[in-house]
Structure 1
Amino acid sequence: MSLNLLTEATLMFLTWSQQIVGLSLTNKAVGGSEKCLAGVRKAFAAVEALMSGNASQVAMDFGCCTIPKNLDDQIELMQNLADIVMGTVQYNEEGVLMSINELCGVMTNKSKAYEEEMEAYNRLVKLAKIYHSTSEEPCLDISHEKTVKDMMDTSLPSGRRAERQWTYQTCTEFGFYQTCEDATCPFSGMMTLQAQTQFCPMLFGISQHSLPGRIAFTNTYYGENVKPHTPRVLYVNGGVDPWKELSVVQDRTEDGEKAQTIFIRDTAHCADMMSRKVTDRCSLKKAREEIEKHVVSWLKMAAAGED
């Protein structure tokens, strides 16, 4: 069984999640542009090209703790850089360090400092420095060996508790791997499915070849994203959120059963769960009103003893 057969739903996410990240970077409603996406794509291509010939320069530019000489460390670096962009898109305007508008400003605003051949590369360096300035770490840790060691730490004070637990869920139930093996991905092709799933046997003794079956069971049990058997569940999604590709966004399931959905076209991940702000978009305010109506209705039904 090939790792490339992680079920149609999972493969769709592998392709479309990165496409949504790219589309969000071009979304003018949230401050994106085609120029921004092109800049991100060029920057990652430049990092990958320079790393193959001058890894020490890349390490110095991005403030790495060590030089990424082996493939695993290089993948760690590329994942770190991709996480900056993916995290910005996922939580746009929700209290994170930068919004899509601000990130695209760094990647596109003209200044004399970037009027040179490595323009896109230098912009990504600046972006990484902005993010690293908020960290208490003296340098960017890109050691794959240390990542594995930290992930194996099961002691209570471990700093990677949530990451280890999430990884276990991806290995046993979800998949949800964010790879970059499709041509539409704006990041590095070094971020492969093979690289991400190697943690399963390494940390939990779970064979990579067992993942398709585990994910298929989850999809069958819960009804996937097209035929969920979930009464009194409201599916709320944002148009900017890459994770919407694995959620229920259609008004009706395949068998005609009604699915409760709310789609907020210009918000990101879980925006409706954040505290209200005066700067909230009108679409978000309206969605919260709809959510409240649903919940009030269900509470009344429950109080009346209705199924």
Structure 2
Amino acid sequence: MLLVPMVVLFLPWLQSALGGRNMWLIKQQVLQSQEQRILKHLLKNSNGMTEPKEGLFPQPLDHFNRRNNGTFKQRYWVNANLWEPRLGPVFLFIGGEQVLLSSSVLAGEHVDLAQKYRALLVSLEHRYYGKSINPDGLTNQNIQFLSSQQALADLATFHEFIGQQYNLTRNNRWVCFGGSYPGSLSAWFRLKFPHLAFAAVASSAPVRAQLDFTGFNKVVSHSLSNPVVGGSMKCRSAVASAFSQLDRIMAGSNTSQLEVDFKSCQKLNGSDDRAEFACNLASIVMGTVQYNKVVLSRNIANLCQIMTNQSLGSVYQRLMVLNKDYMDSIELQCVDNSHQNILANLRSTEVKPYAMADRQWYYQMCTEFGYYQTCEDKGCPLSHWLTLRFELDICAEVFGIDPGSVQDAVDFTNSYYGADHPASSRIIFVNGDIDPWHVLSVLKNQSCSEVALVINGTAHCANMNPVEQDDPPSLRQARQKIDYQIGAWLAEEHLSSW
């Protein structure tokens, strides 16, 4: 059957920000924009390919306790249209904190490379996301089996399964691809299973876990003032001044005007609601920087045009315009700033394969990574209500996790994987300098075969998207370097095998 392009998504790289609902809505908008890009790409480039194969296979629930006989069905995709079986490599696209669909083996940088190197394309959905989860998996008792260590063991089992299904040999070298958290998994799979993963591309991979991720908003501050992407010092100053005014109002007893001006769905009852309000407004700025130009109508240049336009009134009024522009773009009538509503959503154990998996990702933040994007230092241009304590309290209120234990979990993660000095080989770390997550990745070559690429003027996982005509030269050059490095490694290995 010929491939019929459909609206599909493959964004396992949407890292969460703070607890505000706006960030989740921004993520959904990013997903929709990316779906449209991929649909356009598939309509233009399907070239008679047949539908990729979707499958489910039984995966152990707990790889580290063989007395636990529990399993779950894990979803995968295979595209063999481009593959040359004798020497063609296997390109593994690693899923993350989202549902994973057929586009994971149909479009993107890894698919373009697969066409050149005649690779078998496979992808694996992350446990506890999408359809790869048991009906009772999200309960506090069973969510304990969600971890990066279990996910890497899943990849090892999947490696064996695909090897048997397609009669693979040692000549079919596996190269891993992933972006954001799956980018870290890509690097870690090569690090922990070097006999299985021949090489890895880790895009926008925050391999260094950090409890208090103050660096996120430092990059936001820098990006708002960067003329390369339409920022300016005037823009950064206007944003900082607007949030400073908000903070002064929220420090008082009456927030009724804020509720009207920024279209809150309810009154701000207490400090937790005010913190959610601050998170929601900050998320508009943070999300715009992180996903700069992913949604074409939302980028740093447009944000700065609003925030520096004096004809719109004071900086406070300009922030109102920015908020209204965001709300109009997703047809939102009001903003839910209720902290209790957020907690209720995170406590829900209902499995929704196609919904945003915020409960699962928050659990991993509490038990492995931290990544809390706070704004308590003086240089942060956003609201100082974005505090570490507010985020850590969610771990206790939702999962019963002692907030004091999260730092220990972060320390273990860094010790286990090596943080931003993983001491591995044949890994390419790719980052954009506009992306706030790049500061937790590997930014300098660690050795001759641990290569770091930093792309000027690009945001989160920009290199992973299908090629477009308006891609900047820096992005085109980075893709050429990735192509060259993978080709060189594969060629060296094939020569040595002879």
Whether TM-score is above 0.5 comes out as: yes
Report the identity percentage.
40
Displacement, 1:205? 1.9
Tell me the residue number matched to 1:94.
294
Q: What is the identity, as a one-letter code, of the residue corresponding to 2:349?
A: T
Displacement, 1:15? 2.6
Tell me the residue number matched to 1:241.
435
| Closer, same or farther: CA 267–97 of 1 in aligned 2, 3 Å | same
| Closer, same or farther: CA 124–22 of 1 in aligned 2, 3 Å | same
| Closer, same or farther: CA 95–302 of 1 in aligned 2, 3 Å | farther
Displacement, 1:53? 4.5
Tell me the residue number matched to 2:223.
24
Matching of residues 160-171 of structure 1 within 5 Å: 161-171=356-366
Greater strand content: 2
* Equivalent position to 1:292, from 476, 483, 493: 483
Task: State how many pairs are aligned.
Answer: 289
Displacement, 1:96? 5.2
Tell me the residue number matched to 1:104.
304
Confirm whether residue 263 of structure 1 aligns to residue 485 of structure 2.
Answer: no
Moved more, 151-160 or 188-197: 151-160
| Closer, same or farther: CA 203–99 of 1 in aligned 2, 3 Å | same
1:229-255 deviations in whole A, cap 9, x for unaligned?
332221001111111110000112xxx
Tell me the residue number matched to 1:77.
277
Tell me the residue number matched to 2:13.
none
Tell me the residue number matched to 1:224.
419
> What is the distance in 2 between the residues matched to 1:155 and 1:228?
37
Confirm whether residue 33 of structure 1 aligns to residue 232 of structure 2.
Answer: yes
Q: What is the identity, as a one-letter code, of the residue corresponding to 2:214?
A: T
> What is the distance in 1 between the residues matched to 2:453 and 2:493?
22
Which structure 1 segments of 5+ residues have no match?
A: 1-7
Aligned-residue RMSD, C-alpha: 2.0
Higher Cα radius of gyration:
2
SS at match of 2:431: strand
Normalised by the size of structure 1, how large is the TM-score? 0.88
* Equivalent position to 2:467, from 276, 285, 296: 276
Matching of residues 57-68 of structure 1 within 5 Å: 57-68=257-268
SS at match of 2:357: helix
Q: What is the identity, as a one-letter code, of the residue corresponding to 2:235?
A: C
> What is the distance in 1 between the residues matched to 2:209 and 2:363?
19
Displacement, 1:40? 0.4
> What is the distance in 2 between the residues matched to 1:64 and 1:45?
19
SS at match of 2:335: coil
Residues 81, 128 of structure 1: 8 Å contact kept? yes
Normalised by the size of structure 2, how large is the TM-score? 0.55
Q: What is the identity, as a one-letter code, of the residue corresponding to 2:451?
A: Q
SS at match of 2:367: helix
Greater helix content: 1
Displacement, 1:70? 0.8
Tell me the residue number matched to 2:407.
212
| Closer, same or farther: CA 129–297 of 1 in aligned 2, 3 Å | same
